[in-house]
Amino acid sequence: MSLPIHSQTDQEIPIHIVSSISSKSALAEEKIARQLRSITKKTKGSRYVDLGLTVNKESSNQSKRRTSITEDEADETEETGESLSHYRSIHEHDKENVDMSGRTMFTFQQQVKKSSSNMLKKVLDDEPTTSTRTKKTTKITKKTVEPNHAKRRRVERQMELLKGDNSSSEEFESSEDEEEKKEKKSMFHDTEGYERYFQDLHTSSKTSNNTLSKLQVLEPQEFHTILSNAPDKHKQEIEILSEMHKQHFPQWFFELQSGFNLVFYGYGSKRKLLNEFAESALTDGPLIVVNGFFPSISIKDILLKITAGALGKTVSTGQISDHVKFICDYFESEEREFEGLYIVIHNLDGANLRNERTQTALSMLAKANNIHLVASVDHINSGLLWDNVKSSRFNWIWHDATTFDDYLVETSFENSLLIRTGELGGARGAKFVLESLTSNARGVFKILAEHQLTEMELANMEGKGNESVGLSYSQYYQKCREGFFVSSDLALKTELTEFRDHKLIATKKNIDGTEFFYIPLDKSTLLNIIELIL
Q: Which of 12, 35, 246, 407 binds another protein (CB under 8 A)?
A: 407
**In the complex, least distance from residue 509 CB atom to another protein, rounded to whole angstroms:** 28
Q: Which of 165, 187, 266, 328 binds another protein (CB under 8 A)?
A: 266
**In the complex, least distance from residue 293 CB atom to another protein, rounded to whole angstroms:** 8
Nearest Cα neighbor of 506 from 413, 407, 422 is 422
Residue 255, interface with another protein (CB under 8 A)? Answer: yes
Binding mask 332-371 vs another protein (x if CB under 8 A, - otherwise)? ------x---------------------x---x-------
Q: What is the DSSP string of 225-268?
A: HHHHHSPPTTHHHHHHHHHHHHTTHHHHHHHHHTT-EEEEESSS
**In the complex, least distance from residue 361 CB atom to another protein, rounded to whole angstroms:** 10
Residues 116-175 that bind another protein (CB under 8 A): 119-120
CA distances (Å), 220 to each of 175, 213, 408, 415, 452, in order? Answer: 55, 17, 12, 14, 21
**In the complex, least distance from residue 377 CB atom to another protein, rounded to whole angstroms:** 7
In the complex with another protein, the residue whose CB is nearer, 166 or 247, is 247
In the complex with another protein, the residue whose CB is nearer, 133 or 202, is 202
Q: Are 462 and 523 in contact (CB under 8 A)?
A: yes
Residues 178-197 that bind another protein (CB under 8 A): 192-197
Nearest Cα neighbor of 79 from 6, 137, 133 is 133
**In the complex, least distance from residue 217 CB atom to another protein, rounded to whole angstroms:** 10
Residues 268-327 that bind another protein (CB under 8 A): 268, 272, 279-281, 283-291, 294, 297, 301-302, 305, 308-310, 316, 319, 321
Nearest Cα neighbor of 96 from 157, 31, 148, 45 is 31
Residues 65-104 that bind another protein (CB under 8 A): 87-88, 90-91, 94, 97-103
Q: Which of 1, 27, 380, 534 binds another protein (CB under 8 A)?
A: 380
Helix (H) or strand (E) holding 345: strand 341-346
Helix (H) or strand (E) holding 46: none
Residue 466, interface with another protein (CB under 8 A)? Answer: no
Residue 423, interface with another protein (CB under 8 A)? Answer: no
Mapping DSSP to helix (H, G, I), strand (E, B) and coil, where does residue 15 land? coil
Mapping DSSP to helix (H, G, I), strand (E, B) and coil, where does residue 416 land? coil
Q: What is the DSSP string of 461-498?
A: --SB--GGG-EEHHHHHHHHHHTTS-SSHHHHHHHHHH
Residue 241, interface with another protein (CB under 8 A)? Answer: yes
Residue 28, interface with another protein (CB under 8 A)? Answer: no
Mapping DSSP to helix (H, G, I), strand (E, B) and coil, where does residue 7 land? coil
Residue 200, interface with another protein (CB under 8 A)? Answer: yes
Residue 384, interface with another protein (CB under 8 A)? Answer: no
Residue 9, interface with another protein (CB under 8 A)? Answer: no
In the complex with another protein, the residue whose CB is nearer, 331 or 476, is 331
In the complex with another protein, the residue whose CB is nearer, 399 or 431, is 399
Q: Which stretch binds another protein (CB under 8 A): 66-74, 235-243, 436-444, 500-508?
A: 235-243
Q: Which of 3, 10, 106, 354 binds another protein (CB under 8 A)?
A: 106
- Length of the chain measured in residues: 534
Phi, psi at residue 397, to the nearest 5°? -115, 125
Residue 458, interface with another protein (CB under 8 A)? Answer: no
Nearest Cα neighbor of 28 from 165, 171, 155, 168 is 155
Is the sign of the CA dihedral 374, 379, 380, 382 positive or negative?
negative
Q: Strand pairing of 371-376 and 261-265?
A: parallel
Q: Which residues of 62-97 are buried (b: 16+ CB within 10 A; e: fewer)?
A: bbbbbbbbbbbbbbbbbeeeeebeebeebeebeebb
Residue 502, interface with another protein (CB under 8 A)? Answer: no
**In the complex, least distance from residue 329 CB atom to another protein, rounded to whole angstroms:** 12
Q: Which of 130, 317, 411, 472 binds another protein (CB under 8 A)?
A: 411
**In the complex, least distance from residue 8 CB atom to another protein, rounded to whole angstroms:** 19
In the complex with another protein, the residue whose CB is nearer, 277 or 499, is 277
For residue 115, count other CB atoms closer than 10 A to its CB: 15
Q: Which of 398, 474, 487, 493 binds another protein (CB under 8 A)?
A: 398
Q: Which of 399, 431, 442, 446 binds another protein (CB under 8 A)?
A: 399
Q: Which of 243, 334, 462, 512 binds another protein (CB under 8 A)?
A: 462
Residue type, 460: N
Q: Site size for another protein, by CB under 8 A?
A: 139
Q: Strand pairing of 341-346 and 396-400?
A: unpaired
**In the complex, least distance from residue 347 CB atom to another protein, rounded to whole angstroms:** 9
**In the complex, least distance from residue 274 CB atom to another protein, rounded to whole angstroms:** 12
**In the complex, least distance from residue 72 CB atom to another protein, rounded to whole angstroms:** 17
Q: How far is the C-alpha of 305 from the C-alpha of 308, rounded, in Å?
A: 5
Burial of 454 by CB count in 10 Å (0-12 exposed, 13-18 middle, 19+ buried)?
Answer: exposed
**In the complex, least distance from residue 499 CB atom to another protein, rounded to whole angstroms:** 23
